[in-house]
Every structure is written in C-alpha cells, then in structure tokens.
Amino acid sequence: MARLLAAGTDPNEVQGNSTLLTHAIDVEGDSTLQSGRPLTVHTTAILLAFGADPELVDPDGHTPMHMAEQYDHTLAVELLRRHISGQGGAGR
C-alpha cells in the first residue's frame, strides 16, 4: 500500500461505501474480532502518514473516528485524535 500511495494513489479515495481509511479501520477491527488477535493499526497509520483525511465522511455518513469507536479500536482512536488536532505528523 505504501508503494501505491508513494506513486500517487489518492489516500482519500472512495470505493463502494468506504473511504480507504474507514475501510482500513473496519478491516483491522473485524480481523481482531474474528481471529482473537490483538488490534493492529498499521494500515491506518500508513494512510494517515500519506495524508488521508482523518475527518473524511464516507458515503454512508461514517467518519474514521466513528468506525474506530465502533470497534473499540483504541490505537486508531488515538492516532486519529492526534491527526485531527494537528499533531499527527510532518506538515500537519
């Protein structure tokens, strides 16, 4: 994914009813529910690092924060809060 983003893929792309960021959080949360493994935040972090808008609403009206809170995905919630407050990374 990082290679695609580095090559110019839009980190705010919408596919179906999800932004890439809401989809990433959904996959991370659902994978944990199904596998019982600890939550990861890798995909969310990569998208945010490449400029994904942490407040972009998907076509269903969900924000990334809403999705993270729905899964009790505390790692994603913290990353999103930092990016929303402008502390998330270089140039923010």
Structure tokens at 13: 């792309």
Average pLDDT value for residue range 65-73? 95
For residue 89, the 8-state DSSP code is S
For the chain, the maximum distance between any two Cα atoms, rounded to a whole number of angstroms, is: 36
CATH architecture of 18-84: Alpha Horseshoe (1.25)
Q: Where are the domains of the chain?
A: 18-84
- pLDDT surpasses 70 at 87: no
- pLDDT surpasses 70 at 4: yes
pTM for the predicted model, two decimal places: 0.88
Q: What is the pLDDT of residue 92?
A: 39
Q: What is the pLDDT of residue 86?
A: 84
Residues 6+ apart with CB under 8 A from 67: 22, 25, 26, 29, 73, 76
Structure tokens at 5: 């983003």
Q: What is the pLDDT of residue 88?
A: 62
Average pLDDT value for residue range 59-82? 95
